[in-house]
Chain A
């Protein structure tokens, strides 16, 4: 079922959690709400579920207005961050809960409930644990019980709040893979909240990047990573280097290096900030391009398949990072304190479109590549 959020505003006592947020989630997609803590992603999820009420705006399921509908009637599968399993019930009763609380008229028979719970236990690969209690399960198992419990009521879609937040890395990866598999099998619309960009990138068909109660960008992971709409999205999606310079007639000067951009700007000089990923820094022993500048290696951190260098430009004294493959690192034979040449590829410039005295939130991304 598709979900549509229209101009939602929600505030608590002293802060606004969501400011005029609109969002469309097509049927059958696996969508991530990605953002730092306090960005409003969990609030948005709870509003969709009906656990909170918005001040303004509406929430539609398949085009039907659900804004004033009670949680109980929305038939939404919600999985809580800490699972919220009923601690005094065994796994069977936990999963059956949504069926057994129905009024006598709509409640399935005991036999049907039994069959349904067991097929769900099979789906989440927890057969044989029906009589255990939540406290007797591991975190990953609890998570899957919570999923089975939510699925038992045949929800219109699934909402997961930080589904893997409380698990260790290995279990997290296994569960991610399993969730994607489950999504493929059930074809259900799934919306999940995460603050982990890697998790969002790996799992989701669409990523919704949120910050300070607003949606910053929506798109497939590839697109968001390659074409971030603004500096926030750029820096939130991975490690980033920042270079400060000035732009004049489409030419950006960063220290001794000059970059041509596709900017169509009014005459004048403005401050510009260049963003780039550490893996786009080319390190060489001799100057390779016109834009190559000298830098000194301050620290070397070997990180498995890659090696990260802490560098300092000799012309501007700016500090930045570069990531090389282990192979390239050995080829170059680098050591701390050595002076190398660096070339900055795939820079994105964000220029404050107004002259410096009036700060404006509008950023124009400019791509510059060599």
Chain B
């Protein structure tokens, strides 16, 4: 047994390094955000949150998330369903395309939309004729956010759906269920936890996205400022306390996301554990038939 594990001091060393790293890069900044936010007292904190411009940024952030998250849920489910349950030409291309937003820098993503819809862009003149504003307006922010967040749901669902195979769906169809009923009553309930997980990650990113949104937003206060952009503006104007106060909102969002995420993980793990247990039982309990 001696050689099966590393010597004790190495184990302590590695664990120690991991914890110091975590403390330095995650916990310390988090504490810093909250202390900075409350440095000038709770009143300043509350005032800077209650400021109309901050409230409008909160509203815009929620609005953008409320559009892009459902869009990506629909897209993610459709893509995962297609990829996991069917084989078709171009499947690998689709898989690669889904990962594209992860591979491309968000700033580039924003720029693409500027090049497409900006006044100097490809579709710019056309949009001008119909007086549609996309860049430096809310639609651009929604577009950029949706682009950046679209892998989350699909990436979460594809492995789950692939692992479950299509047996249950085939059984449902052979019992006379339509495609839609099969999806609603068989596929969806089987992936609900994975879906929720994907939605939460997608939402966290949608609310926290900076790069792509920054490029297309135009930073018009009270109009096209999302929370992360607002934090930056306040900081650049040396309103540190206000800036950190707004940042705490995002930090709280992150914490809530983390908690919900671990709850879901705990839940799915428990589900797996019971399934394993029953497989175990199957081996010994057969004689009961």
Whether B171 is near chain A, meaning CB under 8 Å from some CB there, is yes
Per-residue 0/1 for B103-139: is the Cβ within 8 Å of any A Cβ (1 yes, 0 no)?
A: 0000000000000000000000000000000000000
Q: Is the CB of B178 within 8 A of A72?
A: yes
Indicate which residue in B175, B186, B190, B286 contacts A98 across the interface (CB closer than 8 Å): B175
Across the interface, name the chain A residue whose C-beta is closest to B185: A101
Q: Which of A50, A72, A98, A153 has the most CB of B within 10 A?
A: A72
Asked, given contacts A84-B167, A135-B274, whether A72 binds B173 with beta carbons under 8 Å apart, the answer is yes
Indicate which residue in A80, A87, A141 contacts B190 across the interface (CB closer than 8 Å): A87
Per-residue 0/1 for B189-224: is the Cβ within 8 Å of any A Cβ (1 yes, 0 no)?
A: 110000000000000000000000000000000000
Stretch at the interface among A170-178, A339-347, A351-359: A170-178
Chain B residues 234 to 274 lying within 8 A of chain A, measured CB to CB, are: 274
Q: Is the CB of A149 within 8 A of B175?
A: yes
Q: Is the CB of A140 within 8 A of B167?
A: no
Q: Is the CB of B278 within 8 A of A136?
A: yes
Per-residue 0/1 for B153-192: is the Cβ within 8 Å of any A Cβ (1 yes, 0 no)?
A: 0000000000000011011111111100100011001100
CB distance from A98 to the nearest CB of B (A): 4
CB distance from B125 to the nearest CB of A (A): 48
- Overall SS of chain B's interface: helix
Q: Is the CB of A171 within 8 A of B177?
A: no
Q: Complex Cα distance A219/B158, Å? A: 46
Whether B25 is near chain A, meaning CB under 8 Å from some CB there, is no
Q: Is the CB of A171 within 8 A of B170?
A: no
Q: Is the CB of B286 within 8 A of A167?
A: yes
Whether B1 is near chain A, meaning CB under 8 Å from some CB there, is no
Asked, given contacts A138-B289, A170-B286, A171-B286, whether A101 binds B175 with beta carbons under 8 Å apart, the answer is yes
Q: Is the CB of A72 within 8 A of B176?
A: yes
Q: Is the CB of B176 within 8 A of A88?
A: no
> Could you say which interface size class chain B belongs to?
20 to 34
Per-residue 0/1 for A152-184: is the Cβ within 8 Å of any B Cβ (1 yes, 0 no)?
A: 110000000000000110110011000000000
Whether B281 is near chain A, meaning CB under 8 Å from some CB there, is yes
Residues of B within 8 A of A80 (CB): 167, 170-171
Q: Is the CB of A88 within 8 A of B167?
A: no
CB distance from A158 to the nearest CB of B (A): 11
Whether B285 is near chain A, meaning CB under 8 Å from some CB there, is yes
Q: Is the CB of A138 within 8 A of B174?
A: no
Chain A residues 96 to 113 lying within 8 A of chain B, measured CB to CB, are: 97-98, 101-102
Chain A residues 65 to 97 lying within 8 A of chain B, measured CB to CB, are: 71-72, 75-78, 80, 82, 84-88, 97
Across the interface, name the chain B residue whose C-beta is closest to A106: B176
Indicate which residue in B178, B190, B285 contacts A88 across the interface (CB closer than 8 Å): B190
Indicate which residue in B170, B275, B282 contacts A84 across the interface (CB closer than 8 Å): B170
Asked, given contacts A97-B172, A101-B172, A138-B281, whether A86 binds B186 with beta carbons under 8 Å apart, the answer is yes
Whether B8 is near chain A, meaning CB under 8 Å from some CB there, is no
CB distance from A41 to the nearest CB of B (A): 17
Q: Is the CB of A135 within 8 A of B286?
A: no
Q: Is the CB of A168 within 8 A of B168?
A: no
Q: Complex Cα distance A87/B160, Å? A: 14
Whether B10 is near chain A, meaning CB under 8 Å from some CB there, is no
Q: Complex Cα distance A1/B87, Å? A: 34
Q: Which of A85, A138, A171 has the most CB of B within 10 A?
A: A138
Residues of B within 8 A of A77 (CB): 174
Q: Is the CB of A86 within 8 A of B287?
A: no
Q: Is the CB of A140 within 8 A of B286?
A: yes
Residues of A within 8 A of B174 (CB): 49-51, 71-72, 76-78, 150
Known A49-B174, A86-B168; 4 more pairs at CB < 8 Å: A72-B176, A75-B176, A102-B176, A149-B175
